[in-house]
Amino acid sequence: MNKDSGRTDQLITLILKGIEDAKGQQIDILDLREIENTVCDYFIICNGTSNTQVNAIANSVQKVVSKEVNEKPWHVEGTDNSEWVLMDYVNVVVHVFQRHIREYYDIESLWGDAKVTSIATNY
C-alpha cells in the first residue's frame, strides 16, 4: 500500500465519521479507480432529510476532517440552497443530497461501473 492510499483510506474513514455524527442516511462509497478518465478515486454519497440537515452533514464532515488531519476541502459548492452540497477533497468527492434531489440525479447509475459499498447505520 502506498502512502497516498493510506491517506485516502484515513480521509474516507473521517468523512464517514462526519456523516454519521450528523446522522446522514443511505451512505454509499463508489470506488472509481477502475474507471478511466475519472476526476477522483472515490465518491461518497449520502442524504439528509432537509436543507438544515444537509448543511449539518457538510459542516460535520469538514469539522472532523479538519480537526483530525488539518485538511480542508479544495472546493465546496451547493451551500446556498443545500439541496446538493459537493465537497472536493481531490481524491475523494463527497456528495450530500436531500433525498428527492439524490433520486432525481441518480449519480450512482451514471457511474454504474463503479464498485459500490453501502455503509450500514445504527440510527
Q: What is the pLDDT of residue 6?
A: 87
CATH topology of domain 3-119: Beta Polymerase; domain 2 (3.30.460)
Mean pLDDT, consecutive 10-residue segments, the chain of 123 residues?
77 98 98 93 97 97 97 95 96 97 95 94 86
Q: Domain extents for the chain?
A: 3-119
Which among 110, 106, 113 has a CA at the least distance from the CA of 84? 106
Nearest to 15 by CA among 69, 62, 78: 62
Residue identified by cell 485516502 is: 8
Per DSSP, the three-state class of 91 is: coil
60, 61, 71, 98, 108 from 104: Cα distances, Å: 25, 24, 31, 10, 11
Contacts of 79 (CB under 8 A, 6+ apart): 55, 58, 85
* pLDDT score recorded for residue 1: 44
pTM summary value: 0.94
